[in-house]
Amino acid sequence: MMTDNSSVARPAVVYEKRGDVALAIIDHPPVNALSLAVRKGLLEALDSAARDDGVRAVVILCRGKTFVAGADIKEFGRPMEPPFFGEVIDRLDAFAKPVIAAIHGNALGGGLELALACHWRIAAPSARVGLPEVKLGTLPGAGGTQRLPRLVGLELALKMIVEGRPIGAAEALKNGAIDAIASGDLEADAIAFAREALSRENPLRRARDVTVAPDPILFERAEADARKRQRGAEAPLKCIEAVRLATELPFDEAAKREYALCIALLQSPQSKALRHIFAAEREVAKPPAAMAGAAPRPVKTAAVIGPGVMGAGIAICLLDAGFPVSLLGRSSASLESARARIGKIYDSGVTRGTLTAEQKADRLGRLKTTQSYDDLGDADLIIEAVDEDMAVKREVFRALDRVAKRGAVIATNTSFLDVDALARETGRPGDVAGMHFFNPANVMRLLENVRGAQTSDDVAATLMDVGKRLGKTSVLIGACEGFVGNRMLSKRSREALFMMEEGATPWRIDKALYDFGFPLGPHALADMAGLDIVLATRRARYDRLTPRERACDIIEQLVARGRLGQKSGAGYYKYDANRKSSPDPEVEQLLRDHAKARGIVPRAFDDAEIVERCVYAMVNEGAKLIEEGVVRRPHEIDIVWTHGFGFPAHKGGPMFYADQIGLPRVRDALRRYATTVGAEYFEPSPLIVRLADKGAGFYSNG
């Protein structure tokens, strides 16, 4: 038995024998990552197996919920202690007895590299294998980019490595990434496979001995695709470069270059940002310490009020997660059209092959429509998704208070209205909360779970539990107007309007933010949403706007001219029959006239000012959210913005980005804009000033 020197009490790798087959059993929770203890343990196990003449083959397998899920991410950014993972791989390469990887759960990153360096691979039917390093801003550094293409071909290897998406066992078997799927007990099947491998013609078959023919067109296509789909990200292009080496250089030379590329990327700001997002995603899923012990209420049945686009989208999320759903609407026509909309979305799933006809029938079979609140008495969770009109919502909450059973959780999907005011319409404010889905609800992964002032701990825990069951990335936040996402977005929108007034065209602003990494500029986005919708939101907040914000009535002017965005053929941009946008001189003239009427002399803008005014205004608001306790820490903000609002993940979210820029610089820029634009807009939040003054950041203590 190997001993383990790390703080983990039990051995990370256990060596056992089953007759002539040795087992190297990795047992290192939570995910059997390749920490120092595992690397050491594996080398010792291989040494033992090599020394023992009674051992003819070795099986590497894992205890717990998964095979090795990769290098230990927690060791990144620290000097790595030997033995390095490369030594384990080299040892496998030179091993004189067949080694079989027995995979269950996930073989990811270094985990798959370990398996690929073995001579054979067998997997449980539910296993997945993949090289997701690109999602952490790096690439496989232990031969993954060299061995995978040799086994599955260039095309699939490029797809798996550049997009970082794992494949299931059946696809892996079909393409040669694994050699067998276990039909019974994985351990027993792997041992049987090992014995059978001994009698094969080439029991020591090695991926490295295969050659891969170059395919320049495939690489060109992969590169063009990566530039388009993962714009601004460095790692995907480096992944392609590394795979290309497999076609150009001898294996060892290529593997050395691959490792160097991997290490360089690991030190890049983009990789740090993406690793931050990985950790933040897991951090926000954890309940706050104050809520420890609050168990989620059981939720078996759900109801949705409002059969509009949002209501139908939310119903789909619930149906997909297996809930029976009652959808309530005011008319049978609206309910029928919601059912048709849901059916159409499922049809397209069937056409694309992501859903079977049986699954579609099952989901639609669980959908009930009703016009009567009395039918909602069984629901454990009720989500209101009616129009953003407080009077209508108040009425709904009064009705729900009458019919909902005791202990039912009642949530509003409002994007900016007062959750506490709705809770007060009921005699059970502790059961009321917000669940803010994003449109299209069945596609967008983000869910803002909003605790009102009186929401009870177990209701908050229920929201997070349901969010997880829906497959959402949920954040738990406090109530305030616009919550995290829309409240910060409103500051960016304000600055975009102000800058248009001061001389920047919508396309100039859009380009700067697109180049920063947002998928769409704010004006292209507004045109997509519809300027009438944007105007309705502005009107709902009108009494809270400053005099300058009110006077900056560019949206009103556009809507008054019938420019409603894409749907009317013109908004900020003009659109051709294929909805292709182009700048419109009419809008430029409108902005010139507007500036003249407001006594503003238009001036030129550079990218830096546009980005700073938009992004720093958001960061400043984010700091206020922390100060007010709406969020517990910056993590929630970064997750909301990267998962729901297109902030480039490789910049880590607005708060992480601000730390990278340096809070003293952010503070100074805010002060500058406080002078030029107005203190009421840019006065740095006390938190930023305090942190910047002591050389700290949102995430660091200085």
Closer Cβ to ligand CAA, 259 or 346, answer by number: 259
Verify binding: residue 69, ligand CAA, rule CB under 6 A. Answer: yes
Rounded Cα distance, 69 and 79, in Å: 21
DSSP per-residue string spanning 247-265: HHS-HHHHHHHHHHHHHHH
- Considering only 4, 27, 44, 72, the residue that binds ligand CAA (CB under 6 A) is 72
Percent of the chain as helix, strand, coil, to the nearest 5: 55, 10, 35
Closer Cβ to ligand CAA, 132 or 478, answer by number: 132
Q: Are 366 and 372 in contact (CB under 8 A)?
A: no
Verify binding: residue 465, ligand CAA, rule CB under 6 A. Answer: no
Locate 323 and state its tokens.
């809930």
Query: What are the residues whose beta carbons fall under 8 Å from the beta carbon of 21, sequence distance 6 or more?
Result: 55, 56, 57, 58, 59, 191, 194, 195
Active site residue 395: no
Q: In a 10 Å sphere around its CB, with 0-12 CB exposed, 13-18 middle and 19+ buried, how is residue 503 labelled?
A: middle
Q: Angle 126-240-204 (CA atoms, 0-180°, nearest 5)?
A: 55
* Shortest Å distance, C-beta 302 to ligand CAA: 23
Beta strands in 415-542 (DSSP E): 432-437, 446-451, 473-478
- Considering only 45, 46, 59, 71, the residue that binds ligand CAA (CB under 6 A) is 71
Q: Which residue among the candidates 44, 113, 425, 636 is catalytic per the annotation?
A: 113
Site for ligand CAA in 354-413 (CB under 6 A): none
Closer Cβ to ligand CAA, 39 or 428, answer by number: 39
Q: Which residue among the candidates 16, 87, 133, 549 is catalytic per the annotation?
A: 133
- Considering only 30, 79, 184, 216, the residue that binds ligand CAA (CB under 6 A) is 30
Q: How far is CA 315 from CA 325, 326, 360, 368, 468, in A?
A: 7, 8, 14, 10, 16
DSSP per-residue string spanning 77-132: TSPPPSSPHHHHHHHHHT-SS-EEEEE-SEEETHHHHHHHHSSEEEE-TT-EEE-G
- Considering only 26, 33, 172, 504, the residue that binds ligand CAA (CB under 6 A) is 33
Which residues make beta-bridge pairs with 107? 129
- Considering only 70, 98, 506, 622, the residue that binds ligand CAA (CB under 6 A) is 70
- Considering only 41, 132, 306, 307, the residue that binds ligand CAA (CB under 6 A) is 132
Closer Cβ to ligand CAA, 141 or 653, answer by number: 141
Active site residue 75: no
Which of the ranges 54-62, 108-116, 147-155, 521-529 carries the binding residues for ligand CAA, by CB under 6 A? 108-116
Verify binding: residue 242, ligand CAA, rule CB under 6 A. Answer: no
Site for ligand CAA in 136-175 (CB under 6 A): 136, 138, 140-141
Which of the ranges 129-137, 227-235, 457-465, 571-579 carries the binding residues for ligand CAA, by CB under 6 A? 129-137
Q: Are 274 and 137 in contact (CB under 8 A)?
A: yes
Query: What are the residues whose beta carbons fall under 8 Å from the beta carbon of 614, sequence distance 6 or more?
Result: 492, 495, 496, 509, 513, 522
Verify binding: residue 109, ligand CAA, rule CB under 6 A. Answer: yes
Judged by CB under 6 A, how many residues of this single chain contact ligand CAA? 22
User: How many residues are there in the chain?
Assistant: 702
Verify binding: residue 255, ligand CAA, rule CB under 6 A. Answer: no
Which of the ranges 25-33, 218-226, 244-252, 427-435 carries the binding residues for ligand CAA, by CB under 6 A? 25-33
* Shortest Å distance, C-beta 148 to ligand CAA: 13
* The dihedral sign for the CA sequence 401, 405, 407, 413: negative
Verify binding: residue 73, ligand CAA, rule CB under 6 A. Answer: yes
Verify binding: residue 31, ligand CAA, rule CB under 6 A. Answer: yes
Residues annotated as part of the active site: 113, 133
**Interacting residues with ligand CAA (CB under 6 A):** 30-31, 33, 66, 69-74, 106, 108-110, 132-133, 136, 138, 140-141, 262, 282
